[in-house]
Structure 1
Amino acid sequence: MRLLRSCGFAVLLLLSAGLSAAQWVTQQQLLAEPPALLLDVRSANEYAAGHISGAHNISHDQLGMRLAELTAYRDQPVVVYCHSGTRTRYAIELLEAKGFSHVRHLRGDYLEWRGAGRPVVMGDAP
């Protein structure tokens, strides 16, 4: 059992390491050139407790059912984040599989955004 957990962790590390530099967006890049869509794939409660200004919230577990809301962004820059990266990777894979061509991952996700002392907005989506 311990070996299986270790293997799973190694696979997760390999998957996250497999993203090229072009697939990441830094905090500085996000601030300098906001994407057409900033997508927060955390839960609604997490989003309400604090999110990056301008972010649209669709929980990763609802994303497949709500893709129609995002079709206008299919060929535009989309930056995705969650708390620490796991849900973001799932969302990126789903979006790319559905034909979204410019999907990127916010390096460090929300955890590093807050850690850097960047501003956040509290409250539900408008």
Structure 2
Amino acid sequence: MNELQVFSELHKFLNSLGPMEFTLAPKSLTLGYKPIRFAGRRQKFATLYGEKRYNCLILHVDQGNQESKKGKMTQKEIQQLLHFDIQEIRGFTLKKNEVYIPFEVIDTKEKIEDLKDFVQEQYMIFIKR
């Protein structure tokens, strides 16, 4: 799968999770996804970055808590599942409360399905908070 296919597939999938508001950044191919809830504030769940520097899906696993280590633990989980090391692929600083999945590691249909299952699990955790 090429990176544009992965981006498109993930966009469709994220919108299928439930009522979702998404925003498009003005000067880049970056989409932010916020589940629509009837009670409480809307927090970002995921971001698809189509820019060269990032080219990845970012899951915001503990939005607003910069000191959370949940992102690091979840990052290790997805790296084991998809067999990659984010430190070897990307040089930018990682936030402790986010999970980064580069598009280029999603190179088979099996991996996209594994990723969808993983995202679905994270989404269920996210909406229960």
Same fold (TM over 0.5): no
Please state which structure has a larger fraction of its residues in helix: 1
Normalising by structure 1, report the TM-score. Answer: 0.28
Q: Which has the larger radius of gyration?
A: 1
Normalising by structure 2, report the TM-score. Answer: 0.27
Bigger relative contact order, structure 1 or 2, given CA contacts below 8 A and separation 6+?
1
Please state which structure has a larger fraction of its residues in strand: 2
